[in-house]
């Protein structure tokens, strides 16, 4: 995904089908050279659920953990791709 792109996932939580739409509104990687020729990449990741009260509740009950796992999985793929070059 790149700047301005949007993707929608559909998944079942607690037996209820739900959709999650993400849009890239800012795109910036922080890169730092490490000893031995390695590179460290840091992403700043912010998200917000719609609906003030229910969104806040969803964020704190499960969405934050889910989004962190999704970001981790994406970074594993980015690392594998970068190491092929």
Number of domains the chain contains:
1
CB-based contacts of 1, cutoff 8 Å, min separation 6: 7, 22, 24
Beta bridge partners of 16: 13
Question: Do residues 60 and 54 lie in contact, with contact meaning Cβ atoms separated by under 8 Å?
Answer: no
Is 66 within the bounds of a domain? yes
Domain limits for position 16: 6-84
14-64 pLDDT, tens digit each: 788 888 888 888 877 788 999 998 888 888 888 888 888 988 998 898 888
Is 1 within the bounds of a domain? no
**Would the pTM of this model clear 0.75, i.e. be above it?**
no
Beta bridge partners of 38: none
């Amino acid at each position: 995904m790149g700047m301005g792109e949007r993707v929608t996932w559909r998944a079942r939580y607690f037996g209820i089908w739900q959709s999650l739409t993400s849009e890239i509104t800012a795109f910036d990687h922080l890169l730092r050279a490490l000893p031995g020729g390695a590179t460290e990449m840091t992403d700043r990741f912010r998200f917000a659920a719609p609906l003030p009260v229910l969104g806040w509740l969803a964020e704190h009950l499960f969405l934050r953990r889910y989004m962190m796992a999704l970001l981790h999985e994406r970074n594993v793929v980015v690392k594998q791709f970068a190491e092929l070059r």
